[in-house]
């Protein structure tokens, strides 16, 4: 078995599991965050469900740890009350990013399992653990039963050969991998990374690389635990664990041998993390602001890398630099070693630990027209605000903040660039009542097609993060596709029973349930796509919202307004305009069962 298969088998009570198997997995750490937590509580209360093991159950307040948004503050308070009533521990606004806390506080270790409302819970692959981001229904089920269902993915192996070039950072490594594999080449796969170069990577380096599995479309990026990782985890956990490794005869669907000697510092262009270029190609591109932090680059090594650049220098006039350590312990370590003083002397804003720019967090947002260079893991439109976001390593971000434009550390100028920041605005869409738009549940669905011929439509395009605190499904429909260029009026024009047809990797990105529920709110009856983001697929299945995977849909000749029927059991799709038929994947037994009972918690 592969590394993932061995971890899952051990937690499912099986001698062996294989790709395609669907099993219930015992979860060692079950986590809800501040924006998803209130929905988890709501699910548990609505269905009168208890908590299986409060000792394995956690809240982590990391999206907006300041509680600066009223809806976040309300949701956090809901979680605090529920925690008091049920003896659940909260890592509150002073703690930091939940996935990092799971590692640093010993909840997760090599061979362990964890789920969270954080779509980057697969970061735990850095220590050879199973971690998955899931929607609020999944997390509620995990809290109640201690288990979740999981379909075993195919595994691929990446062998990194050769030695990394000097001064190459872990962020550069993952951006090079994104450049090779794109946003969907590894879609739905478990990835294991091997090779002499990989073995030498520190725990902080591994965290950076594993944290961007979601941006590659992968289920998880796993590293076999090194001695450093094993020692690190043994010092922090009370669990007596034995590290898990893949069998020598493990079966992989594909094996990739990649020569890392050709890797170079890279930067992701705005809107697409996988669309990377050599950093020097962007030399001189003006920026308005810079951000160092996030679950991808908020570790101590990242802070030290930034401090080396900023020591004795000042941020360029007019440029805003925000720095947010991943956890409070890292923040205090920065204070102890004088890094906070370096950051402040350079003119940076240093915030309390947390996710910062992601999910409308406490800092890191930018305004319309603003150009930002960031160490975050996502630069989807609207993810870190309304401007354009380039992704890069802490060293490149710090150097660019000093220069006033994108540059590498070796090319920091003596005189920085100067510029001004434009501002713009955007209107809000309106919706209709849920009762007008809820279709009857049926096995054969017929509806009018909306053909959206695009790949990689992410959850921020579907349901922007500025609306994440919305918990009432009747309010969600109005925001559907509000951040997708050309479809801002979709919510106003869509009709009950309509069918959305899209390309590859639909619903990539965040774990937000609202990106599914907004279509339910509008009365959309079905989404057909060439492929779906892994978390989005789970969320739709769990909500009993019909989705169908049809790899050939783009070649079916469908047009806007065509009437389409689909049989969910057989997968047969028919275009009523011309009578042509084609095939989607039929509902699995699990998907059909959940659909027919009205949802995972029904």
Average pLDDT over residues 591-600: 93
The mean pLDDT value of the chain amounts to 92
The answer to whether the CB of 108 falls within 8 A of the CB of 131 is yes
> From the CB of residue 179, how many other CB atoms can be counted at a distance below 10 Å?
17
How much is the pLDDT for 312?
95
Q: Residue range 297-312: average pLDDT?
A: 96
Q: Say whether pLDDT at 49 is over 60.
A: yes
DSSP string, 528-586: EES-B-HHHHHHHHHTT--EEE-TTGGGS---TT-EEEEETTT-EEEETTT--EEE-PP
Summarize pLDDT for 287-300 with one digit per residue, the tens.
999 999 998 999 99
Residues linked to residue 349 through DSSP beta bridges, in sequence order: 322
What percent of the chain lies above the pLDDT cut of 70?
A: 95
Neighbours of 77 (CB within 10 A): 12
pLDDT band at 435 (very low <50, low <70, confident <90, very high): very low
Q: Is the pLDDT of residue 39 over 50?
A: yes
pLDDT in the model for residue 359: 61
Distance of CA 520 to the CA centre of its chain: 22
Q: Do residues 30 and 56 make contact, with C-beta atoms less than 8 angstroms apart?
A: yes
Strands 320-324 and 349-350: parallel
Residue 48, pLDDT > 50, answer: yes
Where do the domains of the chain lie, and which CATH numbers do they carry?
A: 3-262 (3.30.499.10), 266-411 (3.30.499.10), 434-596 (3.20.19.10)
**Integer angstrom CA distances of residue 334 from 215, 303, 329, 353, 509:** 29, 7, 9, 12, 31
Residue 195 DSSP one-character state: S
In terms of Cα–Cα distance, which of 130, 98, 128 is closest to 232? 128
Is 25 or 422 the better-scoring residue by pLDDT?
Answer: 25
| Tokens standing for residue 150 | 């999981």
Indicate the DSSP class of residue 114: E
Report the chain's C-alpha Rg in angstroms: 23
186-190 mean pLDDT: 95
pLDDT value for 348:
96
3-state class of 446 per DSSP? strand
Q: What percent of the chain has a predicted confidence (pLDDT) above 90?
A: 82
Give residue 368's pLDDT.
Answer: 85
Nearest residue to 25 (alpha-carbon basis) of 35, 36, 17: 17
The residues pairing with 564 across neighbouring beta strands, listed in sequence order, are 447, 575
126 pLDDT exceeds 80? yes
pLDDT at 425: 52
* Model pLDDT, residue 434: 34
Question: Rounded mean pLDDT of 197-222?
Answer: 94
Q: What is the pLDDT of residues 451-478, one digit of tens each?
A: 998 999 999 999 998 888 888 999 999 9
């Amino acid at each position: 078995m592969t590394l993932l298969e061995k971890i899952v088998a051990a937690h499912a009570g099986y001698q062996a599991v294989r790709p395609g198997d669907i099993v219930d997995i015992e979860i060692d750490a079950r986590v809800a965050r501040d924006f998803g937590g209130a929905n988890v509580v709501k699910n548990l209360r609505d269905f009168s469900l208890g908590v299986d093991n409060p000792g394995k159950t956690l809240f982590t307040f990391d999206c907006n740890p300041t509680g600066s948004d009223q809806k976040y503050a309300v949701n956090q308070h809901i979680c605090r009350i529920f925690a008091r009533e049920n003896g659940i521990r909260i890592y509150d606004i002073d703690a930091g990013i939940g996935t990092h806390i799971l590692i640093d506080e010993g909840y997760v270790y090599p061979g362990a399992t964890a789920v969270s409302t954080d779509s980057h819970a697969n970061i735990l692959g850095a220590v050879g653990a199973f971690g998955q981001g899931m929607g609020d229904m999944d997390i509620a089920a995990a809290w109640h039963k201690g288990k979740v269902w999981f379909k075993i993915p195919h595994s691929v192996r990446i062998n990194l050969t050769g030695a990394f070039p000097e001064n190459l950072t872990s962020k550069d490594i993952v951006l090079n991998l994104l450049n090779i594999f794109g946003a969907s080449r590894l879609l739905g796969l478990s990835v294991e990374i091997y090779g002499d170069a990989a073995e030498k990577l520190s725990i902080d380096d591994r965290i950076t690389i594993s944290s961007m599995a979601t941006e590659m479309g992968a289920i998880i990026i796993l590293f076999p635990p090194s001695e450093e990782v094993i020692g690190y985890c043994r010092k922090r956990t009370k669990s007596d664990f034995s590290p898990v490794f893949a069998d020598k005869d493990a079966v992989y669907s594909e094996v990739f041998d990649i020569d890392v000697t050709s890797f170079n510092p890279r930067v992701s262009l705005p809107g697409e993390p996988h669309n990377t270029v050599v950093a020097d190609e962007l030399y001189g591109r003006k920026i308005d602001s810079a951000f160092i932090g996030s679950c991808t680059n908020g570790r101590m090594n990242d802070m030290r890398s930034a401090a080396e650049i900023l020591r004795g220098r000042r941020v360029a006039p007019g440029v805003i630099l925000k720095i947010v350590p991943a956890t409070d312990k890292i923040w205090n370590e920065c204070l102890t070693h004088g890094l906070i003083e370096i950051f402040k002397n350079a003119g940076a804003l240093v915030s309390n630990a947390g996710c910062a720019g992601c999910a409308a967090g406490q800092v890191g947002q930018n305004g319309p027209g603003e150009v930002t260079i960031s160490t975050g893991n996502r630069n989807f439109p609207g993810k870190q605000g309304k401007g354009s976001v380039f992704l890069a390593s802490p060293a490149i971000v710090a150097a660019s903040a000093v220069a006033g434009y994108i540059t590498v550390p070796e090319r920091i100028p003596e005189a920085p660039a100067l510029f001004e920041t434009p501002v713009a605005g955007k209107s809000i869409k309106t919706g209709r009542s849920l009762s007008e738009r809820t279709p009857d549940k049926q096995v054969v669905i017929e509806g009018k097609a909306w053909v959206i011929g695009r790949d990689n439509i992410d959850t921020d395009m579907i349901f922007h993060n500025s609306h994440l605190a919305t918990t009432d499904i009747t309010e969600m429909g109005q925001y559907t596709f509000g951040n997708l260029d050309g479809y801002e009026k979709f919510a106003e024009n869509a009709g009950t029973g309509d069918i959305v047809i899209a390309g590859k990797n639909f619903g990539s990105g965040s774990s937000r349930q609202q990106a599914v529920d907004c279509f339910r709110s509008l009365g959309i009856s079905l989404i057909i796509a060439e492929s779906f983001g892994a978390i989005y697929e789970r969320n739709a299945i769990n909500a009993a919202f019909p989705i169908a995977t049809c790899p050939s849909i783009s070649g079916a000749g469908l047009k806007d307004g065509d009437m389409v029927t689909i049989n969910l059991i057989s997968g047969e799709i028919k275009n009523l305009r011309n009578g042509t038929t084609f095939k989607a994947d039929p509902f699995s037994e699990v998907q059909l069962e959940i659909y027919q009972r009205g949802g995972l918690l029904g």
